[in-house]
Structure 1
Amino acid sequence: MTKFEEGMNILEERFGKGKDNVIALATISLESSQDGYPVPCVRDVDAYYEDGAFYVVTYGTSNKIRQIEANPEVSVSVNFEDFFGSGRGENLGWVLDPKNAELRSKLRTVFKDWYDFANNEADENCCFLAIHLKKGTLRINHGEMFYHFDFENRRAE
């Protein structure tokens, strides 16, 4: 088994298998600072993990979606789990779009305790956000071991 495969198994154990994860999602604001610099924007979201990507239920006109549409580069950190990474955000569209049926089924199960309360599926702005990881670092036992992932090339050091 390669180090990448070993690390992916650990990610699946920690974040996959139907677990509702709270992650910090960072984007770049649409407004610049007074000095003209890009302004980071971060918020906590519930996310489902599967095979190198996190999935979120959100709203199509939310700040996070508007920011991702302007600049799809994002960063994430899984709260209290020693994983952080970066990737590309993608609006997958309306939750009831037939192409989202399989993902919808998974997310309704994972987020069953709050999904219907928090989301109005009849509203076509109720959408899925995919965060496709490109790079990431998983720290084991407070730095005893690290996995530095290159998800695009399926490698880890």
Structure 2
Amino acid sequence: MKEGNRLFYTANEDEIKRGDTTDVYLARTRDILKACETDKEVVAEISCGSLPDNWDYGVFAGVEQALNLLEGYPVDVECLPEGTVFEPRDYGGVRIPLLNIKGRYSDFCMLETPLLGLLCQATGIATAASRIKTLAGDKKVLSFGVRRMHPAIAPMIDR
């Protein structure tokens, strides 16, 4: 059964770019900030709190998609390059920032959920692929990852 004009239950690029796929509490946060006139410039840090099974490193990925999402919004972005190997925390246990966004929170809060989704999904796949390749050594590794994933993200998985 089709819902509306959609064949599949996926958001299109415009809906993602507008922030239509965000968590409802972020829309409420934006409305409160504007209503209370307390919308100041902030720096939001995107970090990794932990990795599965106590893995000691991750591979940061999804940067191009994240920058495409934020393009056109009044924010400044600093981040690690695509493919950077990172540890989630420093020696003191403090999370290490992977990406920083500077601007008024109301200008980009609607993008928080899709931003995290783009980065987390790509980073998780890149990290798992790295671990498999490390274990394989000089052996060739082939990807059959799209077989069990949503087909809408197949291009991201196979790149």
Q: Could you tell me the TM-score, scaled by structure 2's length?
A: 0.20
Find the structure with the greater CA-based Rg: 2
Q: Relative contact order: is structure 1 or structure 2 higher (C-alpha 8 Å, sep ≥ 6)?
A: 2
Whose helix fraction is larger, Structure 1's or Structure 2's? 2
